[in-house]
Structure 1
Amino acid sequence: MATLYEHVFDWDSYLQFGTRQFFKRKEAIYSQGTCGDGFYFLKKGLVRIVSVNASGKERILNIVIPNQLIGVQSLDQRQHFTSAIAVKDSVVYHFPCETFKALLKEHPKLVPLFSRTVIHKMKILLDRINLDTLTSEQKIALLLHNICYEFKNYEIPISQQDIAGCTGLTRITVYKVLKQWQEDGIIEIMKRKYYIKKPDFLRNLVN
């Protein structure tokens, strides 16, 4: 099962240039308002990207799954406008700006990869502007639809607790929504994994 960017570029041979870091559940990988110095590659775990408004209310912008990049928008070494929080224990590799510059010289294929990554992340950010106005069903549908898009697969490798942590909903609410969707034939639940049987339903629910 591969992500959108795994097909374009294999990061495994380049992890040696990054610094391996471990983050426990609920720990911040980087925080909104701090200055960035490079980007992160998520090797293992699950991360949610959030922003906090002036009143201190948190808004979930994205869910990051393994083999994706985090924080590429701050390669200019300015302040992060989001925070990255580990939903479960996670392993990341940090690539400082200077390391990135050296990699670009040796591996020019990184240029189009990063261009597509930044464009994709900005699109996700725009899609989340009105997240607070969504219903519980729409929040879950948006999360599952985005993971389907990233994985290019209709098998969702996260738990109900992960979904609750990423959407800000209670586990009871998540359970009720998923149970109803299972009864309606929209999803199938097998061995704690979710299989999307009607992806168009999710897409139509959030559009």
Structure 2
Amino acid sequence: MSKHKYAWKPYLARGLKKTYPPKAILFHQGEIGNGFYYLEDGEVKIQLTSFKGDERIIDIVTPGELFGEAGIKKEPYFSTAYVMKPSTLFYFSNEVFQQICREHPSAIDIFLQSLIRKERLLAEIVAQENRSFEQKLAFFLLKLYNKNKDTNIAINQISLSNYIGTSRITVYKILQQWEKKEIVTVSNRSIQINDLNRLRAILNDDIVIPSVD
């Protein structure tokens, strides 16, 4: 488990607790915010829409993480947040955040570290743009693994294709090749990573898998 997860938990009593059903939209890209969220339970996907109207999943928020931090500066959210399964969240307005920081200066560092991770995430996404679909898929699966240190990734192929910007058929073909090599095991709504080292090698060009681009 990443060391930053649950770091905001001591301040949950100051937030507004809310529950949301699947498909609920927490905020829209371009909407001016006035606060941010902490995910206690459930799952939220962060989706970016390009100027051409193309939609891409850029992150999946898991319990213990902050998201929507841009709202604290009353700036437009750079993405849209969708609830993927029943979720419990805490909402922190700008006013409440300021109070927490005055009383607990260490909270500022936790918040800034979360912001830095989001900036790094965007930089990583840009860096992946010129890579093959196999490498993009390997990158995303490894990122999800690193969040929870769990080799069983609960995600479907439609979401994977949305993330790497290709068709579900292409994702299916890549996963079939990896499954034959025993790198992963694919089920209906999850992917079991069997060999982390070989998946990392694909990302780093050390293993060449026939292209299905």
Question: TM-score scaled to structure 2, two decimals?
Answer: 0.79
Residue 21 of structure 1: aligned partner? 18
List gaps (5 residues or longer) in structure 2: 205-213
Deviation digits for residues 95-128 of structure 1 (CA, Å, limit 9, x no counterpart) = 1111111111222221221121111110101111
Q: Residues 133-161 of structure 1: CA distance to partner in whole angstroms, max 9, x if unpaired?
A: 5554334322211112222x142341436
State the distance in 2 between where 1:194 and 1:173 align. 16
* Alignment-derived partner of residue 47 in structure 1: 44
**What fraction of aligned residue pairs are identical, expressed as a percent?**
29
Q: Distance in 2 between matches of 1:94 and 1:200?
A: 38
Give the unaligned 5+ runs of structure 1. none
Q: Which residue of 1 aligns with 2:151?
A: 155
**Conserved 8 A contact 1:140-1:163:** no
Q: Aligned partner of 1:79: which letter?
A: P
Residue 86 of structure 1 is aligned with which of 77, 83, 86? 83
Summarize the alignment of residues 1-207 of structure 1 with structure 2, pairs less than 5 Å apart.
Answer: 2-6=1-5, 9=7, 11=9, 13-129=10-126, 135-151=132-148, 153-160=149-156, 163-164=159-160, 167=163, 174-188=171-185, 194-207=191-204
SS of residue matched to 2:175: helix
Alpha-carbon distance change, 134 to 78 in structure 1, aligned in 2, over 3 angstroms: same
Looking at structure 1, the residues matched to 24 and 202 of structure 2 have their Cα atoms a distance apart, in angstroms, of 32
Deviations 1:159-181 (A, max 9, x none): 43674476366666545433432
CA separation in 2, counterparts of 1:4 and 1:189? 29
CA distance in 2 between partners of 1:63 and 1:166 (Å): 12
- Tell me the TM-score normalised to structure 1 length: 0.80
Counterpart-to-counterpart distance in 1, 2:60 and 2:119? 14
Amino acid at match of 2:31: T
Who wins on radius of gyration, i.e. which is larger?
2
Residue in 1 aligned with 2:208? none
Residue type matched to 1:3 in 2?
S
Give per-residue Cα distances to partners, 1:70-104, cap 9 Å, x unaligned.
11133211111111122333222111111111111
Counterpart contact for 2:184–2:193, Cα < 8 Å: yes
1:128 is paired with a residue whose SS is helix
Output the CA distance in 2 between the equivalents of 1:3 and 1:16: 23
Q: Report the residue type matching 2:154 in the other structure.
A: I
Paired residue total: 203
